[in-house]
Amino acid sequence: MKDYTASDKRYDTMRYNRTGKSGLLLPAVSLGMWHNFGKQNDFEVMREMCFTAFDLGITHFDLANNYGFPNVGSAEENVGKILATDMRTYRNELVISTKAGYRMWPGPYGDFGSRKYLLSSLDDSLKRLGLDYVDIFYHHRPDGATPIEETMEALAQAVHSGKALYVGLSNYNGKEMKKAADILSALHCPFIINQNRYSILDRTVEKNGALLACRTLGKGMITFSPLCQGILSDRYLDGIPADSRIKTSGIYLKESSLAPEVMDKVRQLSLIAKERGESLAQMALAWLLAQEGVTGVLIGASSAAQIRENAAAAQSAPFSAEELALIDEISC
């Protein structure tokens, strides 16, 4: 692949939303590196996906210390190579986020939410990425054993030391988020965003207080698994493709996830998408972007074509009240 020069039209079509009450704008569609940026993936395909995303105005690349399979940390290593060789010029136009909270190395110091783990992990992430700082550093999951004050103080130290510009929380419910927000406010730490699983088929954040907390506290919400691991796409409407994640790994998406009652809902939703002139994936992403409090969606992709299709959701037409009511009737 030839040397990369970003498109002059990269900001023409993407929508940018304010992250809660902060000054940071994030693209409506961001690129997540959970599944397809590991050592087993084709590096040139990864490069093409990053370039395609940025050319479409996707300025936010989302990582974690444990992303990249089967070698944890490999997603950060690969993105670091792409940043160093192709996109260094555009660093100030990019928002790079990473996280720590899941098991990263053996022993008692490589997991959960201690100060030692979080700050050590951030240092390692910066080395793998080849960066002096990340734009957002997340605690990846709540830790019921470590005092929440210690975890939040570690996030604040990451910012105060210049290694992160903002902090976020991931997988926290509303009550946990409120407690964390109070501590971070007292520490003068810019907590701006919560990252949660949310889709038409998974409304947990509407029930556990996370979405309401984002709205009332003035924090952004960015959603992962917005397509329910690909179920909310056209991919499984006619059966399970041989190259699907179910066939190749079966870890994060199992055949049981495609139960007849689930696929019946998916087929009904696909008819609404067709009426709107969209793919099911585009409609599912647009539905999330229409929810109050949602700043953006994180898409995973295995090709540049998927990124182009999903990025188009940022220009989707508004939903009618009838469409929203029908989607709720089908999915809830």
pLDDT per residue as tens digits for the range 257-268: 678 899 999 999
* Dist. CA 167–CA 297, nearest whole Å: 18
Answer yes or no: are the C-beta atoms of 255 and 246 closer than 8 Å: yes
Strands 25-27 and 16-18, bridge-based pairing: antiparallel
16-331: CATH architecture:
Alpha-Beta Barrel (3.20)
pTM of the model: 0.94
* Dist. CA 249–CA 113, nearest whole Å: 29
pLDDT for res 273 = 97
* Dist. CA 95–CA 295, nearest whole Å: 14
> Mean per-residue pLDDT for 225-245?
79
Only one residue has tokens 């099911």, namely 280
In sequence order, what are the beta bridge partners of 167? 137, 191
pLDDT for res 235 = 83
Residues 6+ apart with CB under 8 A from 325: none
Q: Tens digit of pLDDT for each residue in 89-102?
A: 999 999 999 999 99
Q: Tens digit of pLDDT for each residue in 106-123?
A: 999 999 999 999 999 999
Average pLDDT value for the chain: 94
In sequence order, what are the beta bridge partners of 195? 170, 222
Using CA atoms, how far residue 184 sits from 54, 71, 161, 179, in Å, is 32, 33, 15, 9
* Domain locations along the chain: 16-331
Answer yes or no: are the C-beta atoms of 135 and 26 closer than 8 Å: no
pLDDT > 90? residue 204: yes
